[in-house]
Amino acid sequence: MKATMFDRYGGFAVVHRVVLTFYDKMLDSDIVGPYFDEIDMPALVDHQTKFISQVMGGPASYSNEVLEQVHRNLDISLEAFDEMADLLEATLKEYEFEPADMHQVMSEIRSRRSFIVTDQ
Cβ–Cβ < 8 Å for 16, 49: yes
Q: Rounded to 5 degrees, what are φ and ψ at 85?
A: -60, -45
Nearest to 25, CA basis, from 88, 108, 102: 88
Candidate CATH numbers 1.10.490.10, 1.10.150.120, 2.60.40.1120, 1.20.120.1200; the one for domain 5-116: 1.10.490.10
Query: What is the C-alpha separation between 104 and 4, in angstroms, rounded?
Result: 12
- Encode the chain (120 residues) as per-residue pLDDT tens digits: 678 999 999 999 999 999 999 999 999 999 999 999 989 999 999 999 999 999 999 988 888 888 888 888 888 999 999 999 999 999 999 999 999 999 999 999 999 999 999 875
Angle at 93 between CA 88 and CA 60, to 5 degrees: 50
Query: What is the C-alpha separation between 25 and 33, in angstroms, rounded?
Result: 9
